[in-house]
Amino acid sequence: MAMAKPSSLRAILFDIDGTLIDTVDLIVKALDYTYQKHLGVALPREELRRLIGLPLKMQMRYLDDRVSGDAPHDLMEADEMAYYKAHRDQERVVPEAVQAVQTAYRKGYAIALVTSKNRQELQITLPKLAVDAYVDTIVTADDTEHHKPAPDPVLKALERLQVAPEQAIYIGDTVFDLSCGRAAGVLVGAVAWGAHLPEDLQAAQPDYYFETPVDLRNWIEQLPVIENHAKAKEDDFRNGDRAARVGAGAGGDTG
């Protein structure tokens, strides 16, 4: 499949956790709490970090082959989300990354958030992120049968945006993001401030590698403006109803 060049881009897809908002420590703590409470297992921090980027259902099944008996997956999911929600004040927005989303939108690019969070998890984080007004659609773990690192989440976003793979880039902080985007045929960009180690990201050979949030923002600032789309998006933004549409249907097509 032909690789996109920056001049042919029409859509920019962003991961959430570890990319737009720093949730790494909180997710690690929530997973550690859940595994210890229900399974009596304490994993090294780096092993827990490597699980970030997978859907919660997969994370809760990660230790199935190491423990005897049936793990209470549903209860584990509920407790993990409860712990996360109770400590959500530890979330830290990455300002320059959010500015990158805003800039891309105003330049006329179609914007999607593609996350392994389910809708319930997303509603905990989305208010603090406050990018609803700049996003055309959000794909969650509830929207596809197969999840990262499979290509389905990115393909679902492209379908909703009505954009071809060669016209898009997916930007994230884990090797799961890179594998997902690569399998979907889009360009992939890795950010070095998230969950997975820089050496692991570089080994995956992303098309773009952003060491800092400022690097990401600067790269997007240098992209060309898509004139007709930029004007339409500015008019849409002034309507004031985009945030309501995205917030009400995070998993659906928000146009």
Which residues in 58-156 belong to E strands, given as ranges?
92-93, 110-114, 137-139
CA-to-CA separations, 6 to 18, 21, 245, in angstroms, rounded = 24, 25, 29
* Length of the chain as a residue count: 255
């952003």: which residue's tokens?
Answer: 210
Q: Is the dihedral of CA 197, 203, 208, 211 positive or negative?
A: positive
pLDDT given for residue 249 in this prediction: 42
Long-range contacts of 199-203 (CB under 8 A, 24+ apart): 200/175, 201/173, 201/174, 201/175
**pLDDT tens string 1-43:** 344 556 799 999 999 999 999 999 999 999 999 999 999 999 9
Section 60-66 average pLDDT: 92
Per-residue pLDDT averaged across 72-80, rounded? 96
Q: Is the pLDDT of residue 198 over 80?
A: yes
CA–CA separation, 32 and 252 (whole Å): 32
Give the lowest-confidence range in 58-72, 124-138, 186-200: 58-72
- Would the pLDDT of 138 be above 70? yes
Average pLDDT, rounded, for the chain: 90
Per-residue pLDDT at 227: 77
Catalytic residue numbers, as ranges = 15
> What tens digit of pLDDT does each residue of 225-239 get?
997 666 566 666 656
Nearest CA to 49 among 210, 216, 207, 201?
201
State phi, psi for 254 to the nearest 5 degrees.
-105, 10
Nearest residue to 101 (alpha-carbon basis) of 35, 12, 232: 12
Helix (H) or strand (E) holding 172, with range, is: strand 168-172
Q: Which two tokens stand for residue 11?
A: 């859509």
pTM: predicted TM-score of the whole model, two decimal places: 0.88
Domains of the chain: 6-22+92-248 (3.40.50.1000), 24-90 (1.10.150)
Position 213 pLDDT exceeds 80: yes
Residue in the block written with tokens 């240098």: 222
Q: Which residues contact 78 (CB under 8 A, 6 or more apart)?
A: none
